[in-house]
Structure 1
Amino acid sequence: MGCFVARGRWVCGAEHGACDPASQARRRRWDDTGGDDGARLRTGPKPGVRTMSIALHRVTDVAPPPHSRVAGAYPSTDLYDAYSIELPDEASGDPETLARFVFARSPAWIGGLTRIRDALVAGLGLKTARRLHRLGANGGERVGMFRIYERRPSEIVLGEDDKHLDFKLSVLCQPPGEAVARRRLIVSTAVHCHNRLGRAYIAVIAPFHRLILRSCLRHAARIGWPPRQPAG
């Protein structure tokens, strides 16, 4: 008997519980995706604050917060947007921790899109994601491929400068207030293009940018936000 899923748990039907290599690889792959099927295959809860409420998985378009450090970062913007998701009470409130979590655990298909993007822009002399990741691996101040520009208690500002455009990305923890009952994580992006190449690039990339950010935030909520650290 092979390995299979029953009632949301992985069942090993092999003798003495020794799965064949293909089954082991399939289990690891589905487990690591954090997707709906991956969640069904897990044998137990992973570290993190799982958000079962559909409301806590909902990503909404919002106006970029005027108090964010990316507001007014450029004299003009060719793209300026923001997306928001609720944070459960037990989740971390540290913006750098949350930023690293969101961008390090993006859905697998985003990596495929990034590789296609790199192949297309490398011939234009633009920075590739692979090159930017290497900078971080060599000790640069980065979150994934993004340079860290500024840290504040409730916000971290990331981004990059290139010959066609500059951009800044804010990951901001907004406390509850009159308009919202829960804390929210807001990711804002501001892009300033230098030339026609930049404007053409952002026109092509913008739909994917929106899809990727929304997917990353939903994915983070589904697999479980990092928990708050004990005080002291």
Structure 2
Amino acid sequence: MQINGQAAIVTGGASGMGAETARHLAKLGAKVTVLDMNEAAVKQVAEEIGGLGLLCDVSSAESAEKAVAEARAAHGPARIAVNCAGVAPAKRIVGRDGPMALDDFRKVIEVNLIGTFNMLRLAAADMGTLDPLESGERGVIVNTASVAAYEGQIGQAAYASSKGGIVALTICAARDLARSGVRVMTIAPGLIGTPMLLNMPQEVQDSLAATVPFPKRFGQPSEYARLVQHILENEMLNGEVIRLDGAIRMAPQ
């Protein structure tokens, strides 16, 4: 797919990988709608790139449907959807205060997994209304998992479960949407230099970066964004999960 001129939706676009992806797609000529729960930050990113910034709770059908409708009214149905929205709280299954609250587990699943599916279903429905491109393609959806889907650490039961669900969803969704000419891919990042990591003490950052086989550093949000670009442009990429992790395999803790 040629990105220039296409409508795109990026969730979790107020910071980190989502914001960098929104910027990158805009530089490539896409008409970008950025969605996030941080309304002030998402509008700032949208203003920076000349796009549309909207408050959206991806775990809510009503909120997501409203946001997608507003994006459609502004830019037309999106051929590109990138799901970066997510939360990553850490909590042991059984801690000093007893078992993890079920609502804590549920919240992570609702935002990360149900939120991803919510946006996927809405994006795919809009893509299905578009005329096919010369190759028959109508759109591409890129989801975000994590290496925690494969090597969840202690305290990541909810997060790893949610990201494992996204991994499992990938091939199923790609097969399901193939008849519409919609591709579905997932990126599983490792240690990426987002605010969550970069706000840690420097000695902690250095210790974490040293665990990456090569290159011995955090990944950069721009590297995620460039991989999104390649996925969009390479039509044979479909139904697969790509690890973006420098060959890291996470230790138990």
TM-score by length of 2: 0.21
Q: Which structure would you say has the larger RCO, counting Cα contacts within 8 Å and 6 or more residues apart?
A: 1
Q: Identify the structure with the greater helix proportion.
A: 2
Instruction: Give 1 or 2 for the bigger CA radius of gyration.
Output: 1
What's the TM-score, normalizing by structure 1?
Answer: 0.22
